Amino acid sequence: MTIPFTNIVKELPASTPFVGPETIEREREQIFQARIGANESAFGISPAALSAMADSLSRSCWYADPENYELRAALADRHNVDMDEIVVDAGIDSLLGLTVRMLLNPGSVAVTSRGAYPTFNYHVAGFGAGLETVPYKGFHEDPQALIDATNQYKAPLVYFANPDNPMGTWHNSSTVSQLIDSVPDNTILALDEAYIEFAETDIAPPVDPSNPNVIRYRTFSKAYGMAGQRIAYAIAHRDIISGFNKIRNHFGINRVAQIGALASLQDETFIPKVKTQVAAARQRVMDFAATRGLYAEPSYTNFVAVDLKSKERAVAMIQHLADNAIFMRMPGADPLNRCIRVGLGSQEEFDLFVKAFDTGFSSL
């Protein structure tokens, strides 16, 4: 028998957006002592959220409210939008999948930057669409190049992250506003703001869901420290949100995550505290690089790209770090892949990293 896969799935290669640290641990038969490669937070969860989640565990027998009503109400209040302009889903990864499914017919084309978030690309391929990429300009995404390619390929969807992953770089609010304004009619800009809470200046243009050209993605995975809980949201024009609601997995949210996200959002003291800790940890990495005569790219995220000046050296360092029980990743595409992406861990993780780095750096 031939398994009756769709034409799209039949032609898909086996692929996965990222190899998880656990896979590497199993291969190496060694547990990582510092897990600073997946942009996970080292600065905890809101104590209020943790307590609410602990209290809710025994009610895990109940499905979550499929409307995510209370959470959407709180988010609507926070962003000064209507509830109908928000959709909650199990992480930005899942939201990007729905976005692609909603906007890309098989054979149509999406645009992104070469080396940007691989999971977007995974979904584009997974729904049988094509992908056109434009190069970064140095270590920054290039808004003009994205718009030019979007026009050239008549792409219904263009992806842009601010701040950027994997580089940590950002564009200021006026540049992003201009990008939004330049998006062609009948094109949607997927504006991934997963790391926006870490930004040191106001780089997010006002949220305006009356504009049907942009979807804003926010998450509880990064600053809120809840990556393992899988909960995020998008803000967009109500017609776009209706589109999400036509296809999303309505009972897909974990009930504990839903409760935790709401409590976390309501804990006004938490994010400022995390932001301060992240800023300090970031400075630690900047200083570390400077001391070694290396360029570290200023970052508005919870990681810092440190330039090792060639892909070969970066690959060798990631390998060396793994040999020393440190999990780190590096960007996947030229010219970003001369860097390693140093995640902001605890002081202990940082110390382990520095120690391992220094033993390997001399022999690169």
Q: Between residue 143 and residue 162, which ones bind its own copies under the rule CB under 8 A?
A: 156-157
Q: Is the dihedral of CA 322, 336, 147, 173 positive or negative?
A: positive
Q: Judged by CB under 8 A, which of 227, 294, 325, 333 binds its own copies?
A: 227
What gap in Å lies between CA 289 and CA 295, rounded to an integer?
Answer: 6
Q: How far apart are the first and last CA of the chain?
A: 52
Residue type, 56: S
Please report, as residue ranges, which positions from 262 to 281 form the binding site for its own copies (by CB under 8 A): none
Min dist. Cβ of residue 308 to its own copies (A)? 26
Considering the rule CB under 8 A, would residue 187 count as an interface residue with its own copies? yes
Considering the rule CB under 8 A, would residue 326 count as an interface residue with its own copies? no
Q: Which of 274, 262, 229 is nearest to 76 (CA)?
A: 262
Q: Judged by CB under 8 A, which of 115, 168, 260, 343 binds its own copies?
A: 260
What gap in Å lies between CA 109 and CA 226, rounded to an integer?
Answer: 32
What gap in Å lies between CA 304 and CA 168, rounded to an integer?
Answer: 6
Q: What is the Cβ-side half-sphere exposure of residue 203, based on CA atoms within 13 angstroms? A: 24
Q: Which is nearer to its own copies, 35 or 284 (CB)?
A: 35
304, 296 contact by CB (below 8 A): yes
Q: Judged by CB under 8 A, which of 33, 44, 76, 311 binds its own copies?
A: 44
Q: Helices 238-247 & 92-103, crossing angle to 10 degrees?
A: 100
Q: Which is nearer to its own copies, 255 or 282 (CB)?
A: 255
Considering the rule CB under 8 A, would residue 190 count as an interface residue with its own copies? no
Considering the rule CB under 8 A, would residue 340 count as an interface residue with its own copies? no
What gap in Å lies between CA 309 and CA 311, rounded to an integer?
Answer: 7
Q: Which is nearer to its own copies, 67 or 202 (CB)?
A: 67
Beta bridge partners of 306: 296, 340
Considering the rule CB under 8 A, would residue 2 count as an interface residue with its own copies? yes
Q: Judged by CB under 8 A, which of 205, 225, 331, 343 binds its own copies?
A: 225
Min dist. Cβ of residue 199 to its own copies (A)? 20
Q: Which is nearer to its own copies, 25 or 140 (CB)?
A: 25
Please report, as residue ranges, which positions from 293 to 322 form the binding site for its own copies (by CB under 8 A): none
Please report, as residue ranges, which positions from 205 to 224 form the binding site for its own copies (by CB under 8 A): 212-213
Please report, as residue ranges, which positions from 54 to 83 form the binding site for its own copies (by CB under 8 A): 54, 57-67, 69
Residue for token digits 């926010």? Answer: 218
Q: Which is nearer to its own copies, 64 or 318 (CB)?
A: 64
